[in-house]
Chains A and B, each alone.
Chain A
C-alpha cells in the first residue's frame, strides 16, 4: 500500500533534504534506468537516484541509522550511517547519497567502524540520562546503537548534570532536552510532515537545541498535541504526559468506581508492545487484562463512535436542510468532523474563520465520559463524583482534550485521564500480565454491543465510511450492501493523503422514526450527489483548507473527514514506537478485518445506541439533552494559546 502522507512539491524542506529518491532525471533516456551498486562485494541493481541506504536494504545489508526516518525527508545530520564510497575522500551518509552512476560501497571498513563508534561516543558525551530510569529503556535507538557499535565505556565522558529543565507545561507532550540527540526528526515531523511548525533548531554549535518559538514552554505555543514528534523521536527526549500513577491510585482507592473505555486503534497496536507483529488486534484479551489490572468496568469506545455518527450525521442533515430547503446563506458547509482533537486545535489556531464548519459533536472519548457520569451513574446508582473515567486512546492530543474547560457539561470532568497505548501496555506489564496469552472476554453492559462502523473510526476514511453507511441507509431506504459489496465503501479507504468521493442519491426512502422530529421527507435530497472529502495528517488538512479558502473542489463538498495524524488514529501520537508506512498499513488491516467480523456493521443499527435514545436522550440526536452533553464549542485561538 503506497502511502503519500506528504506531497514533495510544496514542502518547506530544502529540495536536497526532501526526496528519498532524486527528481526524475532530466535526460529522458535515464528514466527508469537501473544502476548497479556494489555493496560489500554484492551487486544490486536499483533505479537511478535510489539512496545507498535503500540499495543496501534491498541487498539485505544493514546500515545503522539514527536521523533517518521512513516518514520524513532526509537530513543527513547524525552521520551514523556513513559508508566508504570508492573514489571519495570522505565517507558518505548512506541515507542521503543518491546513486546516479555505478558505485562501489563498503559498509564496515575500519574507517567506517571508527567513525560510527565516535559518533555514538560523542552523542553519549552530552546525553544526560540513565537507561534504567528512562521510559525508552529497551526501545531506544541510541541505546541500541551504543550496543551495536560496541560502545563499552564513555570515551569522551558523560554529563553528570542536566543542562535543561524538563518542560512539562503541555498537557500532552513532555520534553526532556537532556536526552535529545539533535537528530531533528521531531523538527522534520512538525515542520514538514505535519506542517504545524512548532519545533525548530536554534542556536549553533554545541548550543544547538530544538526549541519552540522564543524558546517558550510547549504549553504556550501553537502545538496541536498530535504527538507525531514523540512517535518519531529515537530517544526518551519526547514522551507523552503520563497519568499512570493517578490511574493506579484511583484503582487502589476502594471508594472509586474506575471505568475504562478502549478505542479500536490501541487494541490493534498494543500487541506491538508485547513483541507481537503489527496488525494483530488484542481487543478481547485486553478486556480480561484490564479487569485483572483492577478496572471495574471495561467499555468499548465504539459505542460512542456509533453515537457520534448519529449526532454528527444528524447535524449534517440539519445543515443540508438549512442550505437546500431553507436556502439559509449562513449555513456552514461542508461540515468538518470533530473527533480528532489534534485537528480541532489545529483549526482553532490556523483557520479560525472556518471554525463554524466544524461539527459541534464531541469526540467519542468525551461523549462516553459524559454518558458515564450521567446515564450510567443513574442506572447504577453511583455518585458521579466517585466515578473515575479513563480512556485508552492512540492519541496524545486526547490528554489535552479531556482537560478542556468546556468538557464537563455534566458537572463533572467527562474524562479524568487519557492513557496512551504505550502507557497502558506499561501498566499491564507492571501488573505482570501476559497480554497476548490472556483468555478473551467481552465488554461490559450496558454498552456491550459494538458495530463495525465504530471500529473503522481508527483508520483514515473510517469516520466517513461509517457516516456514509448510516446516511445512505437512512436517506435512501436501501441497504448499503446494494451499493457497495459487503458494505465496504472502498472509494473512501486507502492512504492517499487527500481523497474525494461522490455518492449519488438516486432514490429516497421514508424518514426513520429517530429523525422524524427534524424532517418530514427526503424529497429535497432526491437526485442530489453527496460529495465527501477525507484527509489525514495536518499537512493534508492544510491543503484541503486552502482549497476551500480558494473556492476549489473541496468547498463544494458536504462533509469532510479530518484526522490530525498520518494514517488516522491508528498512527496516533500515543501508539507504540516505532511507526512507519508498513506498520500503519498492518494496523489498518487489523482494523478492517475486525470490522468484517462484526454482526452489526452500521451505527444506526446498534441496539444499545437506539436504547439510549429511547431511555435517556429522549429528544433524539441533536436534541436538547444531547446538545448539552454530547456537543461542544470551539475557541478561535489564532496565534494565542488561551
Chain B
C-alpha cells in the first residue's frame, strides 16, 4: 500500500513547528499505526534524516503511552481503540494520513508528536490516591462490596490515562478522566473515607489546567478504555456531594 504521511515536526516546546510530507510505498494493511511510524522512521534514518519522535510502550492497549491525533481524531479513525491497536487497513491506497500531537492547551508539545501530559498526573496528585492507613488485610467478608459495585469500580478503573478525552474535547476538558477516577474510588470501601476531600481537591486541580465540560460527548467516543459518558456527571455529583459536607480539619 502506498500512503502519504503528513507529520507534525516541532523541535521543542517553544519552536514554531510545521508539517513534513513523506511517502511510504510498502505499508501493509495489518501494520498498526505505530508500526507505520516505525516504518517511516527507518526510511528517515536511511536517508540521514531525524526520525519522528512519538511515544509508545506496551503496544497492546494497556499502558496509555501512545497518544497522537490521526487525521484530526485522537488515536485514529476507529472509535474507542488506542493508536497501537489501530491499523493501516482503515485507510485506502494512496490516501493522505496526517499525524498531529494530541490537541489541548494543557498538553504542550515536547517534541514532534510527544506531548506533556503531566497535567493529568497533577490531578491524581491532588487526591486520586488513598492516603488513610487502611491497616492490615481485613478478614474475608468484613467489608462487604456488592458484585455490581465491584464491577462498576473496575469499569471506571479501566482508564489508562492516555489523555485522548482531553484531545477529543472541543473545550480541552478533562472531565471524563477525572470523573472516572472519582467514580472508581467512591465505589470502594477504602476510597470512601476521603471521598469529599478528594472531590474538592481533584476538581479544583482539574479546573486549574483543563476546560469546562459542555456535554458534547466526543471524549467517550475517543476513550480506548470505553469509560462511559456518565463519568462527566460523576464529577459534578461528587463535587455537589462534597459541597454539602462540613470541611473536616486536617
**Chain B binds chain A:** no
